[in-house]
Amino acid sequence: MGNKGGTLRLPEGAVEESLLNVETRQRTRWITINRPDKLNALNSAVLEALETVLTAAASDGDVAVVVISGAGGKAFVAGADIAAMQGFSAAEGREFARRGQRVFELLERSPKPVIAAINGFALGGGLELALACHLRVASELARFGQPEVKLGLIPGFGGTQRLPRLIGRGRALQLLLTGEMVDAATALSWGLVDRVIAGSDLPEAVQKLADTMTALSPTAIRHCLEAVNSGAECPLEVGLELEAALFGVSFATGDMKEGVAAFLEKRTPVFPGS
C-alpha cells in the first residue's frame, strides 16, 4: 500500500501524541490507538486524543475515509482502562461514560465512512468503539465481548444500545449477561462484523475497501450516511421522506452531473465532491 501524506502530527499541546499513531494513506486517515502494553485500553487521555483527530478528519478535504485500529497485533481495544476507573465516584463514572459516548457519536455521525479494522481483542469499550463505526472488518483471530458484568459494571459507551440494534436483543443479551467472548466466525454469522480477513491481510483488505469508497461520490456517500443514521431513529414514513429529500438534493450536485455524464459517455467519473 502506498503512504501518501505521511504521518499527521497532532496540534502541539492538544493531546499526548504517543497515544495515537495518525497517518494518511491514499486519502484514508488511519488512526491507530497506541497503548499496546495496556492492550490499547481507553482512558480519558485516549478519548481526548480521539476527539481531536476525528474532528480534524471530518473537516479535512484530503480525507475521504477514516480507519480505526489498534497497535501491537494482539488487541484492537481490550476495553476501558480498569485501573484508571477504580476510584471513580458514581458522578465520575457517569461523566466518563458520557464523555466516551460523545466521542463515539463523532464516529457514528461522521460525514465520511469510518471502518473499524479489528485486529485482535475487541472487548468492552473496544467493542463499543467498533459498534460506533460504519463498517467492521475483522481479523480471523479477533475476539469480541462485553465482559463488564464480570466487574460488577455495565457497558457505558453505548454497548447496551448499539449492540441489540445491530445483532438483535437475544444475542446482545447473551453477550451482555454472560460476559462471554465470541470468535470472528460467530461475529460474522451474527452480523456483528461485515467481513473476516486472514490476519496478515487485514490492513491491505481494509485499504482496498477504503479505496473503493474514495473513488465514489463524496456527496452521495455523505447523503447515504445521513439517511441511514437519521432514518434509523425515526418512523419509516419519516425516514422515507428524508430519503426522498436527499435524493432530490443530489440532482443539484456536481457529483450527480459528473456521474451521469460519465455513465452516458462510458468513462470513469471524476467526482468534484460538490
Give the separation between CA 81 and CA 62, rounded to whole angstroms.
Answer: 33
| Active-site choice (148, 180, 226, 241) | 148
- Work out the angle between the directed axes of helices 159-167 and 169-178 (0-180°, nearest 10): 140
Task: Identify the bridge partners of residue 77 per DSSP, sorted by sequence position.
Answer: 122
Is residue 16 annotated as a catalytic residue, yes or no? no
255: Cα within 13 Å, side-chain hemisphere: 15
Specify whether the CB–CB gap between 36 and 27 falls below 8 A. no
DSSP state of 162: H
Is residue 140 annotated as a catalytic residue, yes or no? no
| Active-site choice (108, 128, 226, 237) | 128
Q: Rounded to whole angstroms, what are the CA distances from 182 to 83, 167, 188, 190?
A: 25, 13, 10, 10
Give the separation between CA 106 and CA 117, rounded to whole angstroms.
Answer: 17
Handedness of CA 195, 198, 202, 204 (dihedral sign): negative
Give the number of other CB atoms < 10 A from CB of residue 16: 13
Reported as type and span, the H/E element at residue 136 is: strand 135-139
**Which residues are identified as catalytic?**
128, 148
